[in-house]
Amino acid sequence: MWHNAFFKVLCFSPGQEAVPSVSVVLGEDHFDRSEKTALLSELRPSKNYTIVILGCLMEVSCGIPTETWVITQPHRDSNPEIKSLRPTGEHVASVPDAPSVITLVGGNSTTAAVTWTFRDTETVDIQASLDNSTWLNCTDPSDNCRMSSFYDDWLPYDRTGMTVFTHLMPGHRYSLWVRGCNHVGCGAARSLEVQTGMKVAA
């Protein structure tokens, strides 16, 4: 039986500091299917947010994340003229900067999931690499990775998303790399060292 189980809820958006995470502890009956609720605070009006939910065991690890997207309601006193405050300056064409941050958010013995953020840089495609070998778009099943991301209309040069690496070896150390590309070329990459868990015997 699972003990000390809980759900961890993460929320992030381009151009905003990370929202404090929320943990929802399961009851004594760890297989209770009753609805669980998590309240996320410190959000901003009229913003796109990615919400990531992970099932975790205390002192062990968190599993593969599930994610969804939401848009918060506008502030009731918001002024329609605020749209004029959006940046209108021309961006100089160049390759994307490296991701400003890359964070491990979950995984198991054969999977690792990382979130990343590009700030103030024009990206068209996001690529990932395992141990800085072949760069992949994560669009083909043979790539052994999945990619998801979104833009914020208010911050067109910011981009946030998640890459899930699959078919990893249990108990192995990996270097996970992410970079952005556009019509000029591919920019610098940022990496994160991760250790997969050991496979639990049935």
Please identify, among 44, 74, 104, the residue that sits at the C-terminal boundary of a domain: 74
- Structure-model confidence comparison of residues 123 and 16, the more confident one: 123
Number of domains in the chain: 2
Q: Which residues pair with 162 in a beta bridge?
A: 115, 148
Please identify, among 40, 74, 108, the residue that sits at the C-terminal boundary of a domain: 74
Check whether residue 105 and residue 170 sit in a common domain: yes
- Structure-model confidence comparison of residues 91 and 38, the more confident one: 38
Q: Say if pTM beats, i.e. exceeds, 0.85.
A: no
Mean pLDDT of 94-116: 89
Q: Does pLDDT of 30 surpass 50?
A: no
Share of the chain above pLDDT 70, in %: 62
Please tell me the predicted confidence (pLDDT) of residue 119.
83
Q: Is residue 68 part of a domain?
A: yes
Check whether residue 124 and residue 151 sit in a common domain: yes
CATH number at residue 122: 2.60.40.10
Please tell me the predicted confidence (pLDDT) of residue 90.
55
Tokens of 180: 């952005």
Q: Is residue 180 part of a domain?
A: yes
Please tell me the predicted confidence (pLDDT) of residue 112.
92
Please tell me the predicted confidence (pLDDT) of residue 31.
43
Task: Tell me the residue range of the domain where 173 lies.
Answer: 92-195
192: CB partners within 8 A, 6+ apart: 102, 103, 104, 114, 175, 176
Average pLDDT, the chain: 75
- Structure-model confidence comparison of residues 181 and 199, the more confident one: 181
Q: Per-residue DSSP letters for 81-106? A: GGGGGS--PPPPP-PPPPPSEEEEEE
Check whether residue 118 and residue 173 sit in a common domain: yes
Q: Is residue 81 part of a domain?
A: no
Please tell me the predicted confidence (pLDDT) of residue 178.
95
Q: Which segments within the chain are labelled E, that is strand?
A: 5-12, 19-25, 48-57, 66-71, 101-107, 112-118, 125-130, 135-136, 145-152, 155-165, 173-181, 186-195
Q: Is residue 202 part of a domain?
A: no
Check whether residue 115 and residue 185 sit in a common domain: yes
Mean pLDDT of 178-195: 92
Check whether residue 59 and residue 102 sit in a common domain: no
The Cα–Cα gap between 155 and 48 comes to: 10
Check whether residue 150 and residue 57 sit in a common domain: no
Please tell me the predicted confidence (pLDDT) of residue 17.
59
Q: Which CA distances in Å does 23 have to 1, 42, 67, 106, 149?
A: 20, 16, 15, 14, 24
Q: Does pLDDT of 202 surpass 60?
A: no
Mean pLDDT of 25-47: 59
Q: Is residue 42 part of a domain?
A: yes
Please identify, among 18, 44, 74, the residue that sits at the C-terminal boundary of a domain: 74
The Cα–Cα gap between 33 and 26 comes to: 10
Q: How confident is the model at residue 165 (pLDDT cuts 50, 70, 90)?
A: very high
3-state secondary structure of 81: helix
- Structure-model confidence comparison of residues 82 and 110, the more confident one: 110
Number of Cβ within 10 Å of residue 142's Cβ equals 6
Check whether residue 119 and residue 187 sit in a common domain: yes
